[in-house]
Amino acid sequence: MYPLEVRKVVAALGGARTIGSSPETVGELAAVVAAGLPRGVVSELAANVAPEDPAARRRVAALVTSPASFKRRQRLSPEASARAERLARIVALAWEAFGDAGEASGWLSTPHPLLGSARPIDVAASDLGARQVERILHNIEHDLPV
């Protein structure tokens, strides 16, 4: 789902400083993801989801790649990069829906009844789960029934 500005997804991944480039289109972002993102995006993404909770940051990081792979590699695999991009897209959508990074972070980390009492960020780790979370965020942003 990309009515979202690519720059917001890039910001959720840590920006051009972390990525090493500044993709401006979906195609450019897809190429960067396919080449494998730098592992620094994992820490940036986790910090955007849970800025005050180290345990939650570790949990978010594990949604992207295993701790062993994180330590061993300088770049994420294309699969882990795709997971990072998907989660960054959810973070950026939450920022838009709530208009406040702190509120978005709290929502992403709090169990939600429409997601079987799972945390939205955990559900968003899969493609189908991300679609569910995107739908809820879309409804929140447009004041539709959730």
**Per-residue pLDDT at 140:** 96
Q: What is the DSSP letter of 38?
A: B
User: Residue 41: which of 24, 23, 20 has the closest Cα?
Assistant: 20
How large a percentage of the chain has pLDDT more than 70?
98
pTM score of the predicted model:
0.94
**Per-residue pLDDT at 5:** 92
**Per-residue pLDDT at 103:** 97
Q: How confident is the model at residue 2 (pLDDT cuts 50, 70, 90)?
A: low
Question: pLDDT by residue (tens digit) across 73-125?
Answer: 999 999 999 999 999 999 999 999 999 999 999 999 999 999 999 999 999 99
How far apart are the two ends of the chain, measured CA to CA in Å?
Answer: 18
Helix (H) or strand (E) holding 80: helix 78-98
CB 21 within 8 A of CB 10: no
